[in-house]
Structure 1
Amino acid sequence: MRTRLLTVLLLAASCLSVLHPVAAETAQPNRDLLQQGLTIFEIDQELKRIEGLESELQVRIAKAEADLAGSAGAVQTTREHAAKVVRAYYMGDRDSLWMLLFSARSFSDGLAIFEYLQMILGNDRVALTRHKEAYSKQAQYKQELAESGLALQTAKRRFQDQRDKQIALQAELDKQVAARAHSDAEAATLQAQMLDLNRKWLEQGLPAFKAYLNELAKAMQELPQAMSPGTSGAKSKNLSLFDNGLNSTFQLTDSELNDYLRSKHPMFQHLTFKFTTGKVIASGSHEGMDLSVQGSYSIAYKEDPKAKPFIRFRIEELSFNGFLLPSTTVESLEKSVDLSIYPEKLAPVLQATDVRLEEGVLRIVLKLVL
């Protein structure tokens, strides 16, 4: 009996050892096809966004052109008035008017002449100011038109690049599906799987990422105040403002970040942040979906030279149920939220000079700016 049972178990094991590699080989290529299908789908979404942007830019250009055309008449009229004023001063006409004061026969006549001169000078100032304002508006319209035109050209180039990429990927996908599907039924099954993945991403994955990123952006804006000394729950050992003279270090562990985020919103119970060398990784499962975000922190500067440096978070990778989203999707989501850290909210006299991501710890080096 034992011999027969052992024989059955060995036969079953041998069958599993043969079947398992075949199943793995079948699943992996299909997964690659699903990944390509999702990439093509998201590029198509990016093309729609660019088309919408192009339409907006066309409206802006039409408005700028209309404003520019309308300003031409105003500039011409004010230019003529301003030219008369300047000519009058250059020819000395205004100087001769002041001589009228000496022809006054009484104080009341002098006062009337002075008020008349004040009115002329006031009108001169108004004429010159109107010309300056009209000319400034015309220059503004020209600038807006140039910027909108440049943005439109950039959008068109980007559209063409993405369109070319989409066509190439679609051709490659069609080729691979034809090579791997041995029948129309198998090809239809693959197409159905790709459509199902795209649908789940659009209806479930994308809204989930947007919700998480929006709540994360709100929490990160309040992080400096939350971690400052005296704040409820803050640990003073993580913050030393004057370690080396005018330098200080803001230190935050990933476990503290997780505790903080979970105190801000219950959805972060499903997502765990981890600091590694040079990277921040957030991953978890929510409503049957596996979500993952990977990024990094760096010192960044705003266009305003008076603005202090800040700690920018750049999203580098998004993953939905193990499938990577293309860079166009990452860029679009990143633009919709601000995940940066602003150290001046911790103390207005502090300025970030360096940021370091180490195993389990985020360190921001600050200096005192008086």
Structure 2
Amino acid sequence: MRLIYLLVPLLLLSLLHPQHNLLADPVKPENDDQQQMLQKSLSIVEIDHEIDRITRQQDDTQTGIGKLQSQLEAKQEQIKNRQEHAGAVVRSYYMGERDNLFTLLFSAKSLSNLLEIYSYYEMIMDQDKTVLNAYQSQYQSIKETQQRMENSYAQLTAIKNSLIKQRERVLALQKDLDSSIAGSSDPEAMKKMIQEFTNYWENVGMYEVKRYFSALSSAMDDLPEFIQNKKGAIRTNGTTYSIEIQEDDLNDFLKSKNELFNNFAFHFRDNKVIAAGESGNLSLQVEGHYSVENEPENSILFHVDKLVFNGLELPDTTCRQLEKEFDLGFYPQQIVSFVKATEVTSRDQILHVTLKLSM
């Protein structure tokens, strides 16, 4: 009976914690060959995920094109009727029928007769305007739908090309990996190691990477307020403003936002931003750079150039996906509303942003 009392709390505890907390420690490669094989297997897993994302995007785009095609056919049917009415109106002006109505105004024999003819004339003119406006509106709607379809087809072509490229890439990697495994001293043990690492990455690794990115994205929401309150962070010289963020200040700010950053730090070097840290058996390093963007709004966006998990570099597809999913940039106009960023540099432990008056 005591055993049951001991087991029940353990069972409840296991249900409360995600599965990744119960997995074994991450696989550690013993040599460069194993490192390379794990690197390739990680890239294959992530590029496979990218292929799945692209395939879903392709399906969604194809469905959208089908809907646009149906809308276009319906609009084309509607415009046929409008076209007939609009044609009749145009012909009446071309044949001078509306001019004849206008001349009737001068043939009125009394004021009441004049008002009656004018009222009739005005009613016809209003009806003509309604017919022509309706035709123009339908015609414009068709043109816009056709443009959306053309854009969707162009997008679909780009998606298909990307899908082909990624499939070729993953096949080449898989061929290399299979060859490396076959040439290893113990192929079965290597396969098992790769499978264990793959399971660890998909259940723990990506979760941890996204946890850090999510925390960073959340902290960046409060960065404008931090800069405004930091003495000397904002400087002005005539119509030029500048923001300087010391890496130590940024790291202190991040630690104040989330304890995850107690073992994670940013460094500014030669227009590169390097963020790295360790927690237990996990290590993460992110290398990237900031750029000034003006669409859809003026912003300082962070681009992930390199992502290393436990010493293994993830493919560019994962970097791009994390960029899409998490916004690690900041928006200068949230700091000073009447300026826009024109340049950003990072060197000597300082992130420097140049701003100009926004006219």
TM-score by length of 1: 0.83
Hey, what's the Cα distance between the residues in 1 that align with 2:51 and 2:37? 21
Aligned counterpart for 2:65 among listed residues 61, 68, 88: 61
Hey, what's the Cα distance between the residues in 1 that align with 2:140 and 2:233? 52
1:95 correspondence with 2:99 = yes
Deviation of 1:219 after TM superposition, in Å, equals 2.9
Q: Bigger relative contact order, structure 1 or 2, given CA contacts below 8 A and separation 6+?
A: 2
Hey, what's the Cα distance between the residues in 2 that align with 1:260 and 1:26? 38
Deviation of 1:353 after TM superposition, in Å, equals 2.1
> How does 1:169-184 map onto structure 2 within 5 Å?
169-181=173-185
Q: 1:366 to 1:97 in 2, by over 3 A?
A: same
Q: Secondary structure at the match of 1:143?
A: helix
Task: Render the CA deviation track for 1:226-247: whole Å, top value 9, x for unaligned.
Answer: 311xxxxx332222123xx222
Hey, what's the Cα distance between the residues in 1 that align with 2:29 and 2:42? 21
1:137 correspondence with 2:141 = yes
- Report % sequence identity: 33
1:295 correspondence with 2:288 = yes
Identify the residue that residue 188 of structure 2 maps to in structure 1. 188
Identify the residue that residue 166 of structure 2 maps to in structure 1. 162
Task: Render the CA deviation track for 1:130-153: whole Å, top value 9, x for unaligned.
Answer: 111111111111111111111111
> How does 1:287-366 map onto structure 2 within 5 Å?
288-302=281-295, 307=297, 309-366=298-355
> Once structures 1 and 2 are overlaid, which stretch shifts more, 352-361 or 339-348?
339-348
Letter in 2 for 1:192: K
Q: Is 2:242–2:354's contact at 8 Å kept on the other side of the alignment?
A: yes
Q: Secondary structure at the match of 1:40?
A: helix
Hey, what's the Cα distance between the residues in 2 that align with 1:314 and 1:239? 24
Flag structure 2 segments of 5+ consecutive residues without an equivalent. Answer: 1-27
Aligned counterpart for 1:86 among listed residues 80, 84, 90: 90
Identify the residue that residue 215 of structure 2 maps to in structure 1. 215
Letter in 1 for 2:249: E
Hey, what's the Cα distance between the residues in 1 that align with 2:183 and 2:136? 70
Hey, what's the Cα distance between the residues in 2 that align with 1:56 and 1:365? 41
Flag structure 1 segments of 5+ consecutive residues without an equivalent. Answer: 1-23, 229-233
Q: Which has the larger radius of gyration?
A: 1
Hey, what's the Cα distance between the residues in 2 that align with 1:82 and 1:43? 55
Identify the residue that residue 225 of structure 1 maps to in structure 2. 225
Q: 1:131 to 1:36 in 2, by over 3 A?
A: same
Hey, what's the Cα distance between the residues in 1 that align with 2:110 and 2:192? 101
Hey, what's the Cα distance between the residues in 1 that align with 2:141 and 2:326? 33
Aligned counterpart for 1:252 among listed residues 245, 252, 273: 245
Q: Is 2:234–2:244's contact at 8 Å kept on the other side of the alignment?
A: yes
Letter in 2 for 1:46: E
Aligned counterpart for 2:235 among listed residues 232, 240, 244: 240
Q: 1:108 to 1:264 in 2, by over 3 A?
A: farther
Letter in 2 for 1:167: L
Hey, what's the Cα distance between the residues in 2 that align with 1:225 and 1:128? 54
Q: Secondary structure at the match of 1:237?
A: coil
Hey, what's the Cα distance between the residues in 2 that align with 1:99 and 1:290? 89
Q: Is 1:201–1:320's contact at 8 Å kept on the other side of the alignment?
A: no
Letter in 2 for 1:338: D
